[in-house]
Amino acid sequence: MKSIYPGILLISFIVVLSKILSNYIFIGSIACAIILGFIVNQTFKIPDYFKPGIKISEYFFLNAAIILLGSTLDLSILYLINIKIVSLLVLLITVSIFSSLVLGKIFHLSSSLSLLIGIGNGVCGSSAIAAASRIINAKEDEIGLSISTINILGAFGIFILPLSINLFFSGSLESQGIIIGSTIQAVGQVTASGFMMGNQIGETAIFVKMIRILMLGPILITLTFLYPLKISENKYTIFSIPSFIIGFVVLCLIANLGIIPENILLILSYTSKYCLLFSMVAIGLNISLKSIIDKGYKVFIVALVTFGLQIFISIYFLSGNY
């Protein structure tokens, strides 16, 4: 146990810095955590005695974050869902994933990296990427690049989307909220962009975003069927669901049955966020500069085009042209 303390302490220090820095910039604490981890890795030669703590942070805390994420999903909003919103969200998620895979092929990105971009844009940003990455065995570079890009893009989206709506859309306030909630990546970014345009738009945007987040569970389970888990060098198991996905689903169901007190749910929610921060710092500490140089601009182009398609389709869909 003593061998992990140096790495855990280093990561804890970077997590605190990322939380402080995120108060002053729009990209969020998770993207800050990855970027700070990357900067530390490029600036200093990290001694070997830090590595056990870094390694356990990457895998243990990421698994814990995914499981605890289940406690944050509120299934009570399901009865408020209508077919129009569901149809739009399914369409946008499908387009996001498919277009990212196609563009990834064109730019010679790996299918796992392209898939992470599509899921991050289509569902719920960092959390979706982090959860999917464990199922598809994505590399640290791919996780870091996709999360950083999606968060930076979402920060721009806070201002770009309201401008696009004002220029190209003349629908109701409710429809404007649906556009924001169905396209911008992170909850905080959706909140900022929606309430910037008005209370009704903001409230609708958050509601739609919550529905979008609920789709994470079915998508993760689907991925476990599409990506068989490797057991040994030449042996694979098909239809095997990872333990962290089972934990995610079970905790989600228990939380929504009202068994867990509200104050405990709040603690679980905060713990999930900090576990994710710890794992993201560890990933940042393993990202190579060469990967950023080789793939960074390609990842941003793929994410930007995909995000643009989502905005265009949502505006077209809600304009009554479908």
Break the chain into its structural domains and give their ranges: 70-276+291-318
227: left (phi over 0), alpha (psi -120 to 50) or beta: beta
If one counts every other C-beta atom within 10 angstroms of the C-beta of residue 227, the result is 18
Average pLDDT over residues 225-248: 60
C-alpha 311: how far from chain center: 18
Sign, CA torsion 27/30/34/37: positive
- Local structure of residue 76 (DSSP, 8 states): G
What is the pLDDT averaged over residues 218-227? Answer: 84
Q: Looking at the DSSP assignment, which residues form a beta bridge with residue 229?
A: 237
- pLDDT higher than threshold 80 for residue 289: no
Helix axis angle for 173-183 and 83-106, nearest 10°, is 40
Polymer length in residues for the chain: 322
Please give the average per-residue pLDDT across 54-76, as a whole number: 82
Q: Which two tokens stand for residue 281?
A: 């710092």
Q: pLDDT band at 237, cuts 50/70/90?
A: very low
Buried b (16+ CB within 10 A) or exposed e, 166-200: eeebeeeeebbbbbbbbbbbbbbbbbbbbbebeee
Mean pLDDT of the chain: 83
Cβ burial 46-82 (10 Å sphere, 16+ → b, else e) = beeebbbbbebbbeebbbbbbbbbbbbbeeeeeeeee
pLDDT of residue 230: 45
Say how far apart CA 132 and CA 109 lie, in whole Å: 17
Phi, psi of 232 (to 5 degrees): -140, -175
pLDDT of residue 114: 92
Identity (one letter) of the amino acid at 90? Answer: V
- Residue 71 CA to residue 249 CA, distance in Å, equals 9
Is 60 exceeded by the pLDDT of residue 239? Answer: no
3-state secondary structure (DSSP) of residue 236: strand
Where helices occur in 23-125 by DSSP H, the ranges are 29-43, 51-69, 83-106, 111-122
- Residue 66: the pLDDT is 80
Residue 70 confidence (pLDDT): 82
What is the helix (H) or strand (E) element at residue 231, kind and residue range? strand 229-232
List, for residues 88-147, the tens digit of each pLDDT value: 899 999 999 999 999 999 999 999 999 999 999 998 777 888 888 888 888 888 888 888
Please give the radius of gyration of the chain, using alpha carbons only, rounded to the nearest integer: 19
| 189 confidence band (pLDDT: 50, 70, 90) | confident
Contact between 3 and 49 under an 8 Å Cβ cutoff? The reply is yes
Examine the pLDDT at 172 and tell me if it is beyond 80.
yes
- The Cα-based distances of 201 to 49, 168, 262 in angstroms read 51, 16, 28
Predicted pLDDT of residue 242: 66
Does the pLDDT value for residue 150 go beyond 60? yes
For the chain, percent of residues with pLDDT exceeding 70: 93
